[in-house]
Amino acid sequence: MTSHAPFLLACRGEPVPYTPVWFMRQAGRYQPEYRALRERHAMLELLRTPELAAEVTKLPLALGVDAAIVFSDILLPFEPLGLGLRFVDGKGPVIDTPVRSAADVARLPPVTAAESLGFVGDAVRLVAADCGDTPVIGFSGAPFTLAAYAIEGGTSRDHVLTKQFMYREPAAWHALLDRLTEIAVDLLTLQVRAGAAALQVFDSWVGELTPDNYRTYVLPHTRRLFHRLVPLGVPLIYFGVATGSLLELMKEAGATVIGLGWRIPLDEARRRLGRTMPVQGNLDPAALFAPPAELRRQVLAILAANGGRPGHVFNTGHGIFPGTPVDHVRLVVDLVHEAGVSA
């Protein structure tokens, strides 16, 4: 892998020969090869088996994407934490022993990534050895989003339990986020040492917070997370869903690239973040179902909004949906490479 890969150049805000592109959940349910593997292997088996995880990670490279994100899951630390983790078809992740009290936080055992999650590093190592000049992205969940899953016991539409815990048990809340921050730093460091050339921190549910609550209850932890990661010397991408009201605060957290959802225009985000701040995004993943002419229109509109400035990694503004036509994903890759040249 070379530091001159277009994806890494764009993440550093340097000129690129063409706009690099990858997709969140690019290795997943829309690919027939992945579905074939899932018919033979349960989700946790895929995640825990480095050879299988590496195989899934490499599947989208045939589409011409400029980075490979390791096939993993942000909730894997919940197993060594004793919270339990299951994936239920049609429901998603289920946490069997959610955190609901200060006593639950105090009972969480120590977790060391190398001992409990070493298979993630092994998968990164296998992919990095096979990918040549294509960078590998490692990732983890952000402290808030991990806490939200741990408290809610799975996905949630309103995160009321999370907010109640945050307001009523502030000392336990900060203790929980401290623990989750340490685990995330440890896991991300493990992935860089295994060969990851960039890191993405997923704060999927942080858009549920007001700016004041983010500043009070979350920012100190995300800032410490990124501060601890800076010495690793790799691009640090911070992504959340529906975070248009939080962009400036997310920048304060210290990431080197801000991932954008599809709800905010790219040119507005670049103006608010500062035109030299690299960004990633931000096609609506549902647009990948549109007829090719409409899909092309939306892709070109995003590239036009960037205005040819360096520091843009093209991506969807959330993960690719199941059932997405593979040929539409390939069409976007080719179009971005051809039309999205930064000056």
pLDDT at 91: 84
The pLDDT tens digits along the chain (343 residues) read: 468 999 999 999 999 999 999 999 999 989 999 999 999 999 999 999 999 999 999 999 999 999 999 999 999 999 999 999 999 988 889 999 999 999 999 999 999 999 999 999 999 999 999 998 999 999 999 999 999 999 999 999 899 999 999 999 999 999 999 999 999 999 999 999 999 999 999 999 999 999 999 999 999 999 999 999 999 999 999 999 999 999 999 999 999 999 999 999 999 999 999 989 999 999 999 999 999 999 999 999 999 999 989 999 999 999 999 999 999 999 999 999 998 664 4
Q: Can you point out the beta strands (E) in the chain?
A: 68-69, 86-88, 92-94, 136-141, 198-203, 236-240, 257-259, 279-280, 312-313
Distances (CA, A) of 137 to 83, 189, 257, 281: 26, 12, 13, 16
The yes-or-no answer on residue 178 being catalytic is: no
Q: Which of 30, 66, 125, 149 is catalytic?
A: 149
Pairing mode of beta strands 92-94, 86-88: antiparallel
For position 341, what pLDDT does the model report?
62
Using alpha carbons only, how large is the chain's radius of gyration in Å? 19
Given 12, 18, 38, 86, the catalytic residue: 38
For this structure, is 149 an active site residue?
yes
Domain locations along the chain? 32-280
Among the listed residues 128, 100, 269, the one whose alpha carbon sits nearest the alpha carbon of residue 198: 128
Give the C-alpha separation, 51 to 57, whole Å. 10
CB atoms within 10 A of CB 129: 13
The helix or strand, by DSSP H or E, that contains position 107, with its residue range, turns out to be none
Number of Cβ atoms within 10 Å of the Cβ of 32? 10
Q: At what angle do helices 219-229 and 170-194 cross, to 10 degrees?
A: 20
pLDDT given at position 343: 40
Q: Does the N-terminal peptide bond of residue 282 adopt cis geometry, omega within 30 degrees of 0?
A: yes
Model confidence, pTM: 0.97
CA distances from 233 to 74, 128, 193, 282 (A): 22, 17, 11, 25
CA dihedral 27, 183, 205, 139 (to 10 degrees): -30
| Residues contacting residue 46 through CB under 8 Å, at least 6 positions apart | 37, 38, 52, 53, 56, 71
Contact between residue 315 and residue 11 where contact means Cβ atoms under 8 Å apart: no
Angle value at C-alpha 139, between 173 and 76, nearest 5 degrees? 60
- Rounded CA separation 304/340 (Å): 8
284 counts as catalytic: no
CATH number of the structural domain 32-280? 3.20.20.210
Q: Which two tokens stand for residue 117?
A: 């999650």
Question: Backbone phi, then psi, for 194, in 5-degree steps?
Answer: -85, -10
Tokens of 237: 């991408």
Q: Would residue 29 show up in a list of annotated catalytic residues for this protein? A: yes
- 38 as an active site residue: the answer is yes
Rounded to whole angstroms, the Cα distance separating 120 from 123 reads 5
Nearest to 67 by CA among 242, 195, 241: 195
Catalytic residue, chosen from 30, 34, 73, 217, is 73
Can you give the pLDDT at residue 1?
A: 47
The CA distance from 21 to 14, in Å, is 15
Distances (CA, A) of 132 to 18, 129, 167, 223, 325: 19, 7, 48, 33, 27
Cα separation, 21 vs 134, whole angstroms:
12
Distance CA 143, CA 145 (A): 6
Structure tokens at 266: 């790219």
